[in-house]
Amino acid sequence: ESINPVSTWWMGKISSTTSFPSLTFWWKIGIYGFLGVAVFVLMLLRALMTAKATARSARINHNQLLDSVMNCPSSFFDTTPMGRILNRFTGDIPQIDQFLFSRFLQVIGMWVGLIGQIVIVSVDTPWFLAIGLPILVLYMGLLILYARVSRNLQRLESIARSPVLSHFNETISGAGLTTIRSFGREEAWKEKFHKVNDDLSVPFMLFREGQKWASLYAAVISSLLFTGVMLIGWFFMDASKLSVAIMSSMTFSMMGLQLINMTVDLESKMTSFERVDFYASKLPQEAKGHELEVPDSWPERGDVTFDRVKYKYRPGLPFVLKGVDFEIHGGEKIGVCGRTGAGKSSLLFALFRLVELDPKHAPKMIDMKTGFLVDSDPNEEPNSGRILIDGVDISKLDIHRVRRSVAIIPQDPTLFTGTIRYNMDLAGHASDDRIWEVLEMIEMRDIVAGLPLGLDSQVAEGGGNFSAGQRQLLCFGRAILNNCRVVVMDEATANVDVETDAKIQRTIREQFREQTVIVIAHRLNTIMDSTRIMVMDQGYLSEFDTPENLKANPDSAFNSLIQSLNH
Ligand SMILES: Nc1ncnc2c1ncn2[C@@H]1O[C@H](COP(=O)(O)OP(=O)(O)OP(=O)(O)O)[C@@H](O)[C@H]1O
C-alpha cells in the first residue's frame, strides 16, 4: 500500500519532461514498471501469509472456545440460553475466521495508503496540506460518530440474535414440535418467532441505513476536497502538479469512504472476537488440578459416604440437600425413593461433582440476562460437606478421574449417531462376543440380530430409531460393559415394562454382584430387592434401612409412599 502512492507520485514526476533530466525515457518507464511488479509481489506475499495466519488462528480460536465451553460447570448451562452459545460458534467464529484478519490488513493498508498520499503530494505541493489535513480531520470525525452508533447497533443485533436461535432450537429439539402441535399452539409459536425475528431485524436495518448516512456525508466531504484542490490548483499549482493533486484527491475521497466503512466493519469483527475471547478465556470452569493421586485400581471396594452434604445448585437458590449423611458399603444394592423434587437425582449430581461442595472450587456465576460474570453474595451460606469413595474425599481428586470411576444410566437415555457397537462400547475395548452376550442380558439380542447389519447397524440422531425403553436398555448394556465399581441408575427403567424391569433388576444382581449399585426409582417394585432403601424427603434423608425393616414399621415414610402409590 505504501508503494502505491510512490508509484502515483513517480508517474506525476515523469509526465513532466523537466524532472530527472539525467534519466532516459526507458529508465523512467522501467522504474515505474518495477514499482508495479513490487506491488504485485508484495500483494502475493501478503495473500500467502494471510491464508496461513488465518488458518492457524481459526484453529486456535475454535479449539480454545470449544475447550472452554466443554469445561463449563452445569450452572453455566443452566443460566445461559443455548442460542447464545450457538451464536458464538455459528455467528462470531465465522466472522473472525473469514473476515477479521483480511479486514485488519485491508484497513491498515488503506490507512498507510491514505497517509502516504497526503505525504507524497504535500512534498511537492505543500498547499495540498491546507486542504488535505482538514479533510482528514473531517473523515476522522465522521468515523468516530458513525463507529459509535454502528458498534451499539451491532451489539444490539448480536443480543437479539440469541433469542431467535434459542426459540428455533427449543422448537425443533426433543419433543418441542410434537408438544406445540398437540396443544395447537402453532400460531402462537409462529408469532413469537416473528417477534424475535423483528427484534433482530430492527438493529440490522438501522445499521444498513447508517451505512447510507455515512456514505452521504463522506461524499459531501469528498466534494469539499475537490473544490479545495481546484481552488488551490487554480492559483498556486502548475499543470503537472495539479494533475497529481487531482488524481490523489480522487483516490483520497474513494479511500476515505471505503476506509470509514471498513474500519467500522473491522470494529464489528473485533466485537465478535471480544465475545469469543470472553468465552474462550473468562467463562467459569470446572475445578482443574488435584490435591490427591489415587492408584488406577481405585475404587477397589466401592464404599460411598456422604458426610453432612448440604448444597444448592447456584447462589441465590434454596438448598436442595440439607445435610445428608449416610454410608454405603462396597457391593451393596441401594434403592432410593421419595416424592418428586425430594432430592434423589441431586444425590447423583453431587456424586459426579456436577456441583462442588468445597467452596474453594465454586465456579463464578454468569448473569442470565447479560451473559457477563457476576459476583456472588459473600454473606450467603456456601455449600458444605464431603463425599468419600473408598475413604477418599472426591473433591480432592481430578474431576475426570472421579467421573471415570462411576457409571451412570441416566433418566434421559443418551445414544449417539454411530453404530450399535460404538454406542455400547464407547471406549472400543470389548469384543463382539462380549457385546452380544450383554445384548442377551438386556433382552436386545433378537432385536439387534434382526437388523440387516447387526452390530454395525446405525443408530439415528438421539437414538431416534429405537423406542425410549430400548434406548434405556442399550444404555444399561453400556454400563455393564463399562465395568465401574460404582453404578448409579436414575429412573433408568421407567420406560420399560414391568416384566423387563424385573429381568433387568435380576441382571443387576448377577452382573453387578461386586459393584455398588444405587438405583433411583419411582416404581417401588424396582427397588424392593435392594440391600437397603433410602427414602429422601425435601432434601433430607428421612429413612435408610432394609426393605423388611422399613415395611415392618407402620409409621415409616416408606410405608406411606407404598400406600400413596396403591391409592
Ligand atoms: N439444575 C438445577 N438447577 C436448579 N435447581 C434444580 C436443578 N435440578 C434440580 N433442581 C431442584 O432441586 C430440587 C430437587 O430436585 P431433584 O431432581 O433432585 O429431585 P428428584 O427427587 O430427583 O425428583 P424427580 O423424582 O422428579 O426426578 C428440586 O426442587 C428442583 O427444582
ipTM here? 0.96
Which helix (H) or strand (E) is 325 found in, with range?
A: strand 321-328
Largest CA distance in the chain: 118
Q: CB-based contacts of 224: which residues, under 8 Å, 6+ apart?
A: 135, 138
Alpha-carbon distance of 236 to 264, in angstroms, equals 37
Please check whether residue 225 is in contact with residue 192, taking contact to mean a CB–CB distance below 8 angstroms. Answer: no
User: Ligand 1 mean position to 341 CA, how many Å?
Assistant: 5
Which helix (H) or strand (E) is 537 found in, with range?
A: strand 532-537
79 lines ligand 1 (CB under 6 A): no
- Which of helix, strand or coil describes residue 321? strand
Which atom of ligand 1 is closest in space to residue 74's alpha carbon? Answer: 1
320 lines ligand 1 (CB under 6 A): yes
Q: What is the mean pLDDT of each run of 10 residues along the chain (567 residues)?
A: 74 72 82 89 88 89 95 91 86 87 84 76 75 84 87 82 85 85 92 94 89 86 84 78 76 77 83 91 88 88 95 93 95 93 93 92 81 83 94 93 88 86 89 92 89 91 82 86 88 78 77 89 86 95 94 90 75
Per DSSP, helices labelled H in 381-497 are 399-404, 420-424, 432-441, 445-449, 468-482
Nearest CA to ligand 1 atom 30: 341
Which cell numbers in the block locate residue 237?
A: 499549482
User: What is each CA distance from 449 to 295, 344, 424, 457, in whole angstroms?
Assistant: 40, 37, 15, 10
Long-range contacts, stretch 34-41, CB < 8 angstroms, 24+ apart:
35/3, 35/6, 35/7, 35/10, 36/7, 38/3, 39/3, 39/4, 39/7
346 lines ligand 1 (CB under 6 A): yes
Which atom of ligand 1 is closest in space to residue 411's alpha carbon? Answer: 27
User: Ligand 1 mean position to 313 CA, how many Å?
Assistant: 9
Q: Please, what is the Cα angle at 139 between 136 and 143, to 5 degrees?
A: 140
Which helix (H) or strand (E) is 158 found in, with range?
A: helix 127-172
- Which of helix, strand or coil describes residue 374? strand
Q: β-strands 486-490, 516-520: how paired?
A: parallel
Alpha-carbon distance of 264 to 275, in angstroms, equals 17
Nearest CA to ligand 1 atom 3: 313
317 lines ligand 1 (CB under 6 A): yes
342 lines ligand 1 (CB under 6 A): yes
Q: Which amino acid, residue 55?
A: A
Please check whether residue 306 is in contact with residue 370, taking contact to mean a CB–CB distance below 8 angstroms. Answer: no
Q: CB-based contacts of 169: which residues, under 8 Å, 6+ apart?
A: 82, 83, 86
Q: If we measure between CA atoms, which residue out of 458, 423, 460 comes closest to residue 439? A: 423
Nearest CA to ligand 1 atom 9: 346
Q: How far apart are the first and last CA of the chain?
A: 84
* Best probe residue, ligand 1, of 313, 340, 383, 540 (max atoms within 8 Å of C-beta): 313
Per-residue model confidence (pLDDT) at position 566: 64
Per-residue model confidence (pLDDT) at position 349: 92
Which atom of ligand 1 is closest in space to residue 349's alpha carbon? Answer: 18
Per-residue model confidence (pLDDT) at position 334: 95
Please check whether residue 533 is in contact with residue 546, taking contact to mean a CB–CB distance below 8 angstroms. Answer: yes
Q: CB-based contacts of 448: which residues, under 8 Å, 6+ apart?
A: 420, 439, 454, 455, 457
341 lines ligand 1 (CB under 6 A): yes
- Per DSSP, the residues of 69-137 read HHT--HHHHHHS-HHHHHHIIIIIHHHIIIIIHHHHHHHHHHHHHHHHHHHHHHHH-THHHHHHHHHHH
Q: If we measure between CA atoms, which residue out of 428, 453, 425, 429 comes closest to residue 439? A: 425
The one-character DSSP state at 543 is E
User: Ligand 1 mean position to 44 CA, how many Å?
Assistant: 60
Alpha-carbon distance of 519 to 426, in angstroms, equals 23
Alpha-carbon distance of 137 to 131, in angstroms, equals 10
Per-residue model confidence (pLDDT) at position 208: 85
Alpha-carbon distance of 9 to 18, in angstroms, equals 15
468 lines ligand 1 (CB under 6 A): no
Per DSSP, helices labelled H in 442-518 are 445-449, 468-482, 498-511
Which cell numbers in the block locate residue 518?
A: 444405587
Which atom of ligand 1 is closest in space to residue 522's alpha carbon? Answer: 25
Alpha-carbon distance of 104 to 112, in angstroms, equals 12
Dihedral in degrees, nearest 10, Cα atoms 347, 352, 355, 360: 120
Which cell numbers in the block locate residue 498?
A: 414391568
353 lines ligand 1 (CB under 6 A): no
Per DSSP, helices labelled H in 285-398 are 344-351
Per-residue model confidence (pLDDT) at position 77: 92
Alpha-carbon distance of 178 to 186, in angstroms, equals 10
Please check whether residue 117 is in contact with residue 2, taking contact to mean a CB–CB distance below 8 angstroms. Answer: no
For residue 547, whether the previous peptide bond is cis, meaning omega lies within 30 degrees of 0, is no
Which helix (H) or strand (E) is 392 found in, with range?
A: strand 392-393
Nearest CA to ligand 1 atom 23: 341
Per-residue model confidence (pLDDT) at position 261: 80
Which cell numbers in the block locate residue 313?
A: 445448585
Nearest CA to ligand 1 atom 17: 345
